Structure 1
Amino acid sequence: MNSAPEKIAIAIVTFNRSTYLKELLASAAAMDTPPFKIVVVDNASTDDTQDVLAAAIKDFPEGLVINHRLDTNTGGSGGFSEGTKVALEQGADWVWLMDDDVEILPDALEQFAPWMQRFKVIHGRRYDFDGTPFYWQAKFNEFLGVPLPYSGKQFGREGYAVTNSGTFEGMLISADIVRKIGLPDPRFFISWDDAAYAWLAAQHTDVVYVDAFVLKRKREQKQVNLGIRHLNDGSPLFRFHVIRNRAYVGKYFAEYGKLNRVGFGIGTALTLAKEVFRLVVVQHTLKGLGDLARGFRANRALWRDKSWRPMDPADVPAQLTNDR
């Protein structure tokens, strides 16, 4: 059996889903190889999350679980930015980012171990809530500025596929890469943050999707199976941010000289069309059109913001010289 490196920190972001968090932490306690640290970022939950967390911590060695509660809800983006920062402050060599509505498979770190010798940003496979393999294989089309499913077999002979997109539902990233590209950008709040972060990483290293199951998704969602991908339902917050945050993606593309304004505009139009399709086909309503319109107005305002700067790698905690 492959042994996993010692300093993998799990960064979990949670908000008002204490039942899922309890199940996730129980799965973490049952891992064959325990992580170096578990950082739980509580995004100002108003339910019994803190009570659940206090009880769950007793199942771990002292100091392994860090309860990091925020005063305000910073969205998934802010939570993952903060979780990554705290993990690196603790001395982690790797950060495994995940939402609260997943379950960790017992041998997850052993499954990751051989890949960590070769790559710096890794996505393992996930089971869906019904136990079937969850389909995820997205890659940025840089002309359009949108991640699209890539065709063909998911994995080559060696058991991995190179991508340039990502998800915070299971992205494992080396601290070395975080120090090159900066922390996850909290300004996204939700949507596009993980895809854009993996794209940034892909400008410096290979980002891969490996044929190794490490997580199971727990939350059931309304969805339509389109064959090449599943389309889930979306919230008003999601609809607003998925359009607004296109501006952030475009600005990062421009920083690396990869922005094609015509193509990116087409990509934004396609994104808008997809969200209208989602409303009609998955949610059977048009009531969310106002959210998309507000998002588009905010998108235009962000494009005009000349003060915007990318995340600064200088803000990433320095590597510790001594083991903890």
Structure 2
Amino acid sequence: MKISAVVVTFNRKKLLLECLNALRNQTYPLDAIFIIDGPSTDGTPEALLECGYIKELPPKKGNWSWETKNVIYSPINNKPIKVYYVRLYKDVGGSGGFYEGVKRAYEEGYNWIWLMDDDAEPREDALEKLIRYMNLPGVIALAPTVIRPTGEISKPHRGILCFKKIFPMIQIPLDESKYKSNQPVQIDFVSFVGPLIKRDAIKIVGFPKKEFFIHHDDVEYSIRLRTVGKIYLIPDSVIIHKENIKKTSLIKKRFLGKTIYRIPYNKLWKTYYGTRNLTYLGRIYSKSKFKFYFKLLKRWAVSVGAIILFDDHKIKRIQFITSAYLDGLRGKFDNEKPKRILYGGKKE
């Protein structure tokens, strides 16, 4: 049995090094780590070189990707751990990064693949506690508990899928009481913060959907995984997620005595993918198409009304949000489109 980790990173070298250190120090040592860098501009390759994860720097420019291999050693038992560093030369988002990482780990023959972003830090015994349950009947994925740095459970990362109520979230977070169990808990949905996925399942369902770019790619993949087996939460296996949720970059507006937060125009492009991808999933999987289209129309109308009331660049914003819904309904995945609509193709 060979186990590899896949870490997707972009411009967070400090967090990446903390994640890699946690992986290196697992009490059940990994066989390999795939680092998918897509493509960082903050000195990530230099940091990896300095810390001994890679032995050479990637070229400054390339057509698609550049890969180098190295070997580090587990401080637990001095076991060699292969390190594959993949430098992408095009921004393909988190979805594209996970696609690339899972594909490469699968093609290298690893039996189980452990997925996470660079802002995840598994506790040293996280993997050891997961592998105890690899032989559960029908198991195709095992998921640790996700906690915030403050210690509380981050519930949105594990849950049950609800195809009756697509908006605003297709997944219902798992009740906190489930985390108190000493036994595995079967779930429908696992985010890409720490799932350990079986090779046999990947062979059938394929790789994460790279076209999503960001947002809801883990939902889509969970739906596919559930068609071939069972996903289990392992409550006593823990991974820390250092997600940085800030409202400081948002614009505050007052309306009827309430504070309304609005997204600045130069940051707006990132919101397109979540709306498009959730709409796409709803069109395919919603149990009641009437309710789905009714709620979609209602959400669109509310969004347009808020733009008219609160925002600048009103025409562009309305065109932008309308396009996100329509592209989801049509299944169109042009990931350069949001910037073309908002900024004429110029990067903000």
TM-score normalized with structure 1 length: 0.76
- Matched-pair identity in %: 26
Q: Which residue in 2 is equivalent to 1:229?
A: none
Q: Distance in 2 between matches of 1:29 and 1:149?
A: 30
Residue 337 of structure 2 corresponds to none
CA distance in 1, matches of 2:187, 2:151: 25
How far 1:186 sits from its partner (Å)? 0.5
1:128 corresponds in structure 2 to: 148
Mark the CA change 1:266 to 1:36 in structure 2 (over 3 Å): closer, same or farther.
farther
Q: Are positions 1:265 and 2:274 aligned together?
A: no
SS at match of 2:35: strand
Distance 1:292 1:175, change over 3 A: farther
The equivalences for 1:23-34 within 5 A come to: 23-34=18-29
Contact in 2 for aligned 1:39/1:66 (Cα 8 Å): yes
Specify which of 160, 163, 172 is matched with residue 196 of structure 2.
Answer: 172
Map Cα deviations across residues 207-237 of structure 1 (whole Å, 9 max, x no partner).
22221233112244238xxxxxxxxx98634
**Which whole-Å CA distance do the structure 1 matches of 2:288 and 2:299 have between them?**
16
Partner of 1:204: 228
Structure 2 counterparts to residues 70-219 of structure 1, below 5 A: 70-118=88-136, 119-136=139-156, 137-145=158-166, 146-151=170-175, 153-155=177-179, 159-219=183-243
Q: CA deviation at 1:106?
A: 0.8
More displaced 10-residue stretch of structure 1: 152-161 or 121-130: 152-161
Q: How far apart are residue 131 of structure 1 and its match?
A: 2.7
Name the CA shift for 1:164/1:17 in 2 (closer, same or farther; >3 Å): same
* CA distance, structure 1, for counterparts of residue 112 and residue 297 of structure 2: 37
The alpha carbon displacement at 1:120 in A equals: 1.2
CA distance 1:272–1:196, change in 2 (3 Å): farther
Q: How far off its partner does 1:81 sit? A: 0.4
For residues 129-158 of structure 1, the C-alpha deviation after alignment (integer angstroms, 9 at most, x for no partner) is 223333344211112231123557325856
- Structure 2 segments unaligned to the other structure (5+ residues): 55-70, 74-79, 248-261, 335-348
- Structure 1 residue identity aligned to 2:173: P
Question: What is the DSSP-based 3-state SS (H/G/I as helix, E as strand, rest coil) of the residue aligned with 2:20?
Answer: helix
Counterpart among 60, 78, 88 of residue 72 in structure 2: 60
Check 1:250–1:41 CA distance in 2 against 1; reply closer, same or farther (3 A cut).
same
For structure 1, the 5+ residue unaligned runs are: 1-5, 224-232, 280-284, 309-324
- What does residue 282 of structure 1 align with? none
Residue number in structure 2 paired with 1:303: 329
- Write the distance in 1 (CA, Å) between the matches of 2:183 and 2:318: 39
Could you say if the C-alpha distance between residues 270 and 88 of structure 1 is closer, same or farther in structure 2, counting changes exceeding 3 Å?
farther
* Structure having the higher Rg: 2
Does the CA-based 8 Å contact 1:144-1:266 persist in structure 2? no
The alignment's C-alpha RMSD in Å is: 3.3
SS at 2:133 equivalent: helix
Q: What is the CA-CA distance between 1:248 and the residue it aligns to?
A: 3.0
Question: After alignment, is 8-17 or 161-170 more displaced?
Answer: 161-170
Tell me if structure 1 keeps the 8 A contact 2:125–2:237: no
- 234-243 or 211-220: bigger deviation: 234-243
User: Greater CA deviation, 242-251 or 170-179?
Assistant: 242-251
Q: When the two structures are superposed, what TM-score results if normalisation uses the length of structure 2?
A: 0.71
Cα deviation, 1:8-61, whole Å, max 9, x if unaligned, reads 110000001111111111112221122111000000111101111223316814
Partner of 2:276: 244
- 2:164 maps to a residue whose letter is F
Structure having the higher strand fraction is 2
Q: Secondary structure at the match of 1:45?
A: coil
In structure 1, the residue corresponding to 2:323 is in which secondary structure? helix
In 2: Cα distance, 1:126 partner to 1:307 partner: 30
Higher relative CO (CA 8 A, sep ≥ 6), structure 1 or 2? 1
Tell me the SS of whatever aligns to 1:115.
coil
Cα distance in structure 2, aligned partners of 1:44 and 1:152? 37
Residue type of the partner of 2:293?
A: G
Report Cα offsets for 1:93-136 as digits up to 9, x if no partner: 11111000111211111110122211211211122122333334
Tell me which residue corresponds to 1:313. none
